[in-house]
Homo-oligomer: A and B are copies of this chain.
Amino acid sequence: GTGADNDLYINQAIVFIEDAIQYRSINHRVDSKSLWLYRWYYSRTCQWILSLTITIILALAFIEKPSSLTITSDVRYRPPAWNPPCGLTESIELLCLLVFLVDVSVKSYLVGWEEFWRNKWLMAYILTLIVSLADWMVSLSYFCREDVRIRRILRPFFLLQNSSMMKKTLKSINSTLPEMASVVLLLAVHLSLFTMFAMLLFARTKDGQQDKEWVRYFRNLPDSLTSLLVLLTTANNPDVMIPAYSKNRAYSIFFILFTVLGNLFLMNLLTAIIYNQFRGYLLKSVQSSLFRRRLGIRAAFEVLSSLKETPANAQQSYVSVGALLQVLQKVEMDARCKQAIMRSLKMCSCDQLSATQFQKLFEELDKDSIKQHPPSPEYQSHFLQKMQFAFGHPYFGYLGNVVALANIVSICVVLVMDADKQPSERDDFFLGAINCFFILYYLLEMLLKILAMGLQRYLSYPSNIFDGLLTVILLVLEIATFAVYGFPHPGWRPEFMGLLSLWDMVRLVNMLIVFRFLRIIPNMKFMALVVTTLLDLVKNLRAFAGILVVVFYAFAITGIMLFKGAVVPLGNASVGRMNSWSIGQTTLMTLLSIFQGKNSLFDANAFYCLLYLLSVHMICRWAKIYFVAWWLISSVIWVNLFVALLLENFIHKWDRRCHREPISDIEYQRTVELMFRDVLEEPTEEELMEKLHQHPHLQLCR
């Protein structure tokens, strides 16, 4: 019937507008039941359950068998790790996999049969689930004693497929791969040619004294390759050239040439290439988000215009204001935006909306949410007004900064004086008294500011919240200290009492004071710029970080599987650090340090090659390949991607800063979309309509 049709149209419009708000694709089924399922699937609860499931399945690795999450990492001191009984982690895993099974079924149903076959991500999802379930069954049939668990390496895929941002980023990275591969090939050619040169230069000679270089670094092809590869990461520089250099200074030319060509030119070329590829990446991604938003709004307009209540108009389609109001009431969106749209709908006196008007109405979504700070209280008393003026003035804030700096300096002085003292010789009186004074000042500052600004206005500034929270914590700590240890006096060295020793309390207070000093950041222009850039960057980097987590997880699991049992704790301490590590965390740590510093490749190798002598055969070579792969992916590719994004973000920000003065009173609340607003292109009507007519499930009348 017409009523049912109308209901359907209304529901479609609701879903399309929600799609537009969330930048989702509108290519899903649009019949009544599917719409209900769609809204249920994308409801907050469902998505939250899905995220939780992904977190749980990823976190399982921390309690599963080869891992050993204990406080200390020292094999000699730590208690045996808790070993979950067979079936515990497995049943949690099964639950998670079942949730994913439901997820993939709903997703596949919603996109429809035709789309499903074209969607490689969904296919891969199903395949991953099948393999995981099969592996799970194998696991149970061996009573959890099987050696290899493929499903663990597959786990990060669940994280990957759930984020459209990450999929998009992966596609971008994928398109950069050919160029990156060229440079990596170039690096390989560079490396192999120089290896041959090195083997010819540093060959074995008759005089045993003269061929130290050969003995240590260029004994055979794998050794030579490793030496030069590690030189490329600058880890063994300048050690690798010392023997040759002390024989003849001219040998250093070889190493300098290698480093300059490889490290300075080729490595930075990789940065250049990745930056060049990613220059337009952010803009393109924001542009496509904009297109999705406009498309969703337009789709909503089209279905609303086919409502039977609107008078048929040959030239142009219209949407009645009533229908739109009906839709708006049911749409889930930001309350502020909804109110703004309602308001402008009421202000417009017409009762029919054209497509342009409709689109314009929803531009509210793209706007900055300008945060209005509540007004300061208006005091009657003259004295209070003066107080308000004095303590609401920026100079009062600066005074606070100066006091905080003084506090930091006093802590620093005490630290320097106490650095070499025995704990029993320390006198905590001075620091205790001084900190007590400063914390009282902080409390006073907070109260006076609240008096001047009113509580609501005070809390509307994030810097004040940061400040106030820390002040309250400091106050509580200080009161607790006095309650347990009494007031400070000369020679104040009480014994251990309660949860924390006095010394620990004082340290904690000091750390919080140092942390509180960060409140100066917004007062320094350049620092504020840098910090906002970094915060923006963090927003834009979420997808990259996600992919990094995925790769990191897969590598860590592979590492745990490869090097399981390679660490044999020895009673003898002479092997030192080497055997004092435990396996799961060793892998994590090693990966992390390679990623951070790119210079531990060599250490890691030496580490595993020592283990190789101790216990397992062939692991040394595998370790080499494994660590080189990780070095390439994390340190070379990911870090360069990061630099490219940072350059992109920073240069945009910098240009904007030069163009216009920041309006200091308006809070900074920009999204990536807004950063590019000036350069974005609005999609044309034709593009939108063409895309709409390609919709696999929506049949438009016209």
Contacts and interface: CB of A to CB of B under 8 A. Distances in A.
Interface of A: 69-74, 179, 182-183, 186, 189, 193, 196-197, 199-201, 203-206, 219-221, 234-235, 237-238, 242, 245-250, 252, 256, 259-260, 263-265, 268-269, 271-273, 275-276, 279, 408, 411-412, 415-416, 419-424, 503, 507, 510-511, 514, 517-518, 526-527, 530, 533-534, 537, 577, 580-581, 585, 589, 592-593, 596-600, 603, 639, 642-643, 646-647, 650-651, 654
Contacts of A259: 596-597
Contacts of A507: 200-201, 203
Given A249-B71, A271-B647, A421-B204, A596 B411 contact: no
B197 A273 contact: no
Given A200-B415, A234-B599, A249-B72, A205 B423 contact: yes
- Which 10 residue pairs across A and B have the least CB separation, nearest first? A234-B597, A238-B593, A220-B419, A237-B597, A272-B650, A74-B246, A182-B526, A259-B596, A272-B647, A200-B507
Contacts of A69: 249
Contacts of A421: 204
Contacts of A650: 269, 272-273, 276
A439 to B, nearest CB: 16
A242 B639 contact: no
A393 B193 CA distance: 28
A237 B599 contact: yes
Contacts of A273: 650, 654
A415 B271 contact: no
A245 B196 contact: no
Given A200-B514, A234-B596, A423-B206, A71 B220 contact: no
A478 B259 CA distance: 32
B72 A248 contact: yes
23 contacts: A69-B249, A71-B249, A182-B526, A183-B530, A196-B412, A199-B415, A200-B514, A206-B424, A220-B420, A234-B599, A237-B596, A237-B597, A246-B580, A249-B585, A252-B592, A256-B596, A259-B597, A269-B530, A269-B650, A272-B647, A272-B651, A275-B647, A276-B650
Identical copies in the complex: 2
Contacts of A419: 199, 204, 219-221
B73 A246 contact: yes
Of A179, A186, A247, A647, the most chain B CB neighbours within 10 A belong to: A647
A534 B412 CA distance: 49
Contacts of A265: 534, 537, 646
Nearest to A509: B200
Given A197-B514, A249-B585, 13 more contacts: A71-B249, A73-B249, A189-B527, A196-B411, A204-B420, A221-B415, A237-B597, A238-B597, A245-B589, A263-B596, A264-B639, A268-B646, A272-B646
Contacts of A585: 249
B276 A408 contact: no
Contact of A416 (B70, B220, B234, B411): B220
Contacts of A643: 268, 271-272
Contacts of A205: 423
A163 B155 CA distance: 61
A268 B642 contact: yes
Given A259-B596, A415-B199, A534-B265, A71 B272 contact: no
Contact of A408 (B71, B196, B275): B196
A189 B157 CA distance: 40
Contacts of A206: 423-424
Given A206-B424, A237-B597, A193 B272 contact: no
B196 A589 contact: no
A375 to B, nearest CB: 35
A526 B183 CA distance: 9
A72 B246 contact: yes
Given A408-B196, A423-B206, A647-B275, A235 B599 contact: yes
